[in-house]
Amino acid sequence: MSILSSNLIRWHKKSGRKDLPWQIDTNPYKVWISEVMLQQTQVQTVIPYFLKFIGKFPDIDSLANSNENEVLSYWSGLGYYSRGRNLFKAAKIIQKEFSSTMPSCLEELESLPGIGKSTAGAIRSLGFKLKAPILDGNAKRVLVRYFKIEDPIDLNKTSIELWKIAENNLPNKECDIYTQAIMDVGSLICKRRNPNCPECPLKRKCLANKENIQNTLPNRSPKKAKPVKKLYWLILQNKNGELLLENRKSKGVWKGLWTFIGFEESNSRLRYQEKLPKDYKILEEGIKTQHVFTHYKLDIDTISIELNKDFQNLDNNKAWFNSDELKGIGLPAPVSKFLEKIK
């Protein structure tokens, strides 16, 4: 056992987190759901979503026997909706090909939609208590600073080096404790900004700490400016307070979710607006918001209209929803935020 792993295990037994919802009566399924939710999302944010999701889908069969729209409604607000869709797809495969039992083999885990190398390692280690490396953001930051890896972490050669380090430092026993420990140290102590080095169990051997360069690591390649896309929303409300939404059937980040009627060009929105019953009332217009995705920014321009007459000229992908019905469908974060404002 390396000094790194022994120090982490010793620290976790004394100070690590042991009462998170997915650690109580844990199993590989709970680990899987939590690990996917925790990707790029903080623990405290994930907890209520996890409890709600597990309450509805307590096992693989309940998830596999559901439908994509229902799964996305319980994922709504977390973002990265492809992850919710992949959970549903993977559950169907596990039910059919693995008799509803989570596989423990890394290769089989990585063959499932949405499960990469690090998530597979976490499921095997935390869920099955079997030896497997992980390299999530927290573990990566700990290793980069401990071994003073100065090359940008987004380079392929750096990734290969870090995976070798992760594998070489795995203990032969208590691998689950080690895995949770390196994630906890990365999350609670070895933070991205202002790491709390005096409280770190690795401080004596950490090369970045010795040279006082912990705040400069990890390094990344220079960022490119994110492109900006435009979206023009038409928010329609009838006299009953219902909202008209459309289901995104096409490919894209919001596929399968319900959104306000959207257009890529303002003229297209205007042409649709001209088809509405003439005595409508404009509630708000010119309201602009921005939503940031991983690879681009989305500028949203909004017109909110109240209709005085029924509008039945609807495509198959559009429907009216009251406030109670909105709670049971999948909504992207910008739509949810707007609905919170008008409550």
- Joined tokens for residue 241: 């307070």
Same domain for 62 and 185? yes
Does residue 102 fall inside a structural domain? yes
Same domain for 178 and 232? no
The counts of H helices and E strands in the chain are 16, 6
Does residue 58 fall inside a structural domain? yes
Same domain for 179 and 86? yes
Same domain for 89 and 155? yes
Number of compact structural domains in the chain: 2
Do the beta carbons of residue 331 and residue 71 sit within 8 Å? no
Does residue 222 fall inside a structural domain? no
Complete DSSP assignment for 234-278: EEEE-TTS-EEEEE--SSSTTTT-EEEEEESSHHHHHHHHTTS-T
pLDDT in tens, the chain (343 residues): 899 999 999 999 999 999 999 999 999 999 999 999 999 788 999 999 999 999 999 999 999 999 998 999 999 888 888 899 999 999 999 999 999 999 999 999 999 999 999 999 999 999 999 999 999 999 999 999 999 999 999 999 999 999 999 999 999 999 999 999 999 999 999 999 999 999 999 999 999 999 999 999 999 999 888 999 999 999 999 988 899 999 887 767 788 889 999 999 999 999 999 888 888 899 888 888 888 888 899 999 999 999 987 776 677 788 999 989 998 888 888 898 888 876 6
Q: Cis before residue 48, ω within 30 degrees of 0?
A: no
Please give the helix or strand (H or E) that residue 283 lies within, else none: strand 281-292
Residue with token string 């001209």: 274
Same domain for 232 and 209? no
Taking residue 137's Cβ as centre, other Cβ atoms within 10 Å add up to 17
Taking residue 146's Cβ as centre, other Cβ atoms within 10 Å add up to 25
| Alpha carbons 308 and 310: distance in angstroms, whole number | 7
159: three-class secondary structure by DSSP: helix
φ and ψ of 192, to 5 deg: -60, -45
- pLDDT of 251 reads 67
Q: Nearest CA to 333 among 80, 4, 31, 163?
A: 80
Do the beta carbons of residue 94 and residue 112 sit within 8 Å? yes
Does residue 221 fall inside a structural domain? no
Does residue 126 fall inside a structural domain? yes
- pLDDT of 343 reads 62
Same domain for 204 and 233? no
- Joined tokens for residue 136: 């999530």
Do the beta carbons of residue 284 and residue 301 sit within 8 Å? no
CATH number at residue 100: 1.10.340.30
| Structural domain span for residue 35 | 3-216
Same domain for 87 and 188? yes
- pLDDT of 86 reads 96
Active-site option among 35, 68, 70, 264: 35
Does residue 68 fall inside a structural domain? yes
Same domain for 102 and 195? yes
Same domain for 273 and 166? no
- Joined tokens for residue 94: 């596990």
Does residue 159 fall inside a structural domain? yes
- Joined tokens for residue 8: 């982490």
Does residue 90 fall inside a structural domain? yes
φ and ψ of 243, to 5 deg: -110, 140
Can 340 be counted among the known catalytic residues?
A: no
Q: Which of 189, 216, 243 is the last residue of a domain?
A: 216
| Alpha carbons 246 and 49: distance in angstroms, whole number | 24
CATH number at residue 310: 3.90.79.10
Same domain for 184 and 256? no
Same domain for 36 and 157? yes
- What long-range pairs does 222-226 form, CB within 8 A, spacing at least 24? 226/292, 226/295, 226/296, 226/297
What separation in angstroms does the CA of 188 have from each of 48, 180, 204, 288, 312? 20, 12, 18, 36, 54
Q: Which residues pair with 287 in a beta bridge?
A: 302
Residue with token string 């049971």: 328
Q: Nearest CA to 49 among 82, 72, 66, 29?
A: 72
- Strand 318-321 to strand 297-306: parallel, antiparallel, or no bridges (unpaired)? unpaired
Q: Which of 193, 216, 239 is the last residue of a domain?
A: 216
Q: Which of 159, 194, 216 is the last residue of a domain?
A: 216
- pLDDT of 312 reads 67
Please give the helix or strand (H or E) that residue 233 lies within, else none: strand 228-237
Q: pTM for the whole thing?
A: 0.79
| Alpha carbons 244 and 314: distance in angstroms, whole number | 9
Cα maximum dimension of the chain = 76
Taking residue 273's Cβ as centre, other Cβ atoms within 10 Å add up to 16
Same domain for 59 and 186? yes
Q: Positive or negative CA dihedral for 39, 40, 44, 49?
A: negative
Residue with token string 């700490």: 209
